Amino acid sequence: MAVDLQALAECIIRGNKNDALALAQQAIEEGMAPQTIINDGLIAGMAVVGQRFKCNEYYIPEVLLAARAMKECMGLLRPLLTDADAKPKGTVVIATVKGDLHDIGKNLVSMMLQGNGFEVVDLGTDVDPDELIRAAKQHRADIIATSALLTTTMPAMKEVVAAADEAGIRPATRIIIGGAPVTQEYAQEIGADGFAPDAASAVDLAQSLLAAAA
């Protein structure tokens, strides 16, 4: 009997890594297309996780478990993807800005983006604006995403916007920002393309920005 990809999605939703891996392996052995397994199993599951997180039905521990299960399954599937299959929704370069070492929120956004079909280049924490711009150019990023947890490091986001403008990579590359002290008003003030208050909203924002550019 063919693998039920809804069952795989449910394993992702519950963060059941072992069962998710077993179902993904079975689907591969049955000859199911890797991209179908990803879209109808992994991404479908992570979409539910994102919605539950937004509605405060899920919290960070549940999201991390789901993201771990998704990541393990992607480890099985990624080597099987052809170039035609593997086209991501878009490429996001993500980092915590210079002077800031906080990364839980950034890591959550990174995993949620990957779980929704984005290619993510994670530069880590305390990242200089010039390094972000170099990475965006190198990877032809559609989006630069920056995070700050301290009011004292928020001005570095403005520097990223200015550096992107100076490098001439906008508007082709959009800039989104987030973090506990960050607001929509601040995003508008510094000329960023958007603000997201949480990881699920960051995915929605990234998708809407790419849809608007299509």
pLDDT in tens, 42-89: 989 998 998 898 889 998 899 889 988 998 998 898 888 765 566 788
- Tell me the longest C-alpha to C-alpha distance in the chain: 57
Q: Is pLDDT of 123 > 80?
A: yes
Q: With beta carbons less than 8 A apart as the criterion, state whether 84 and 174 touch.
A: no
Q: Is the pTM of this model over 0.85?
A: no
Residues of the chain with CATH 1.10.1240.10: 5-80
> In this predicted structure, what is the pLDDT of residue 159?
97
Beta carbons within 8 Å of 49's beta carbon, 6+ residues apart: 12, 13, 58, 62, 63, 66, 67, 112, 115
Q: With beta carbons less than 8 A apart as the criterion, state whether 204 and 51 touch.
A: no
Tokens of 90: 């878009």
> In this predicted structure, what is the pLDDT of residue 54?
84
> In this predicted structure, what is the pLDDT of residue 2?
76
- Compute CA distances 196 → 14, 35, 62, 109, 157, whole Å: 25, 28, 20, 10, 14
Mapping DSSP to helix (H, G, I), strand (E, B) and coil, where does residue 127 land?
strand
* CATH value of 91-213 in 3.30.710.10, 3.40.47.10, 3.40.50.280, 1.20.1250.20: 3.40.50.280
> In this predicted structure, what is the pLDDT of residue 85?
63
Give me the chain's average pLDDT, please: 91
Q: Is pLDDT of 37 > 60?
A: yes
Top-confidence range, 33-42, 105-114, 134-143: 134-143
98: left (phi over 0), alpha (psi -120 to 50) or beta: beta
Q: Is pLDDT of 214 > 80?
A: no
β-pair partners for 147: 96, 178
CATH topology of domain 5-80: 1.10.1240
Mapping DSSP to helix (H, G, I), strand (E, B) and coil, where does residue 84 land?
coil
Q: Is pLDDT of 34 > 70?
A: yes
Residues of the chain with CATH 3.40.50.280: 91-213
